[in-house]
Amino acid sequence: EPEVTQTPSHQVTQMGQEVILRCVPISNHLYFYWYRQILGQKVEFLVSFYNNEISEKSEIFDDQFSVERPDGSNFTLKIRSTKLEDSAMYFCASSESWANEQFFGPGTRLTVL
Amino acid sequence: AQSVTQPDIHITVSEGASLELRCNYSYGATPYLFWYVQSPGQGLQLLLKYFSGDTLVQGIKGFEAEFKRSQSSFNLRKPSVHWSDAAEYFCAALIQGAQKLVFGQGTRLTINP
Partners of A22 in the β-ladder:
A7, A76
Instruction: For residue B113, give every residue at least 6 positions away whose Cβ sits within 8 Å of its Cβ, in sequence order, or none.
Output: B14, B15, B83
More reliable by pLDDT, A96 or A99:
A96
How far is B101 from chain A, CA to nearest CA, in Å?
7
Partners of B109 in the β-ladder:
B11, B87
Rg from Cα positions in chain A: 13
Q: pLDDT tens digits, residue range B18-55?
A: 999 999 999 878 899 999 999 887 789 999 999 988 99
Rounded Cα distance between B53 and B33, Å, is 12
Interface-testing mutation among A61, A89, A104, with chain B (most B C-beta atoms within 10 A): A104
Rounded Cα distance between B92 and A18, Å, is 31
Q: How many CB atoms lie within 10 A of CB B69?
A: 9
What is the identity of the amino acid at B60? I
Question: Given pLDDT bands bounded at 50, 70 and 90, which one contains residue A72?
Answer: confident
Residue B100: φ, ψ to 5°: -125, 140
- The answer to whether the Cβ–Cβ distance between A43 and B44 falls below 8 Å is yes
Tell me what percent of chain A is helix, strand and coil, each rounded to the nearest 5.
Answer: 5, 50, 45
- The answer to whether the Cβ–Cβ distance between A44 and B103 falls below 8 Å is yes
**Most confident listed range (B2-6, B59-63, B98-102):** B59-63
Residue B1 has pLDDT above 70, yes or no: no
Closest listed residue to residue A4, CA positions, set A20, A22, A26, A33 = A26
Averaged pLDDT, A69-94: 94
CA distances (Å), A106 to each of A9, A102, B9, B96, in order? 8, 13, 22, 26
Partners of A109 in the β-ladder:
A10, A89
Question: Given pLDDT bands bounded at 50, 70 and 90, which one contains residue A6?
Answer: very high
Q: pLDDT tens digits, residue range B48-87?
A: 999 988 999 999 999 999 999 999 999 999 999 999 999 9
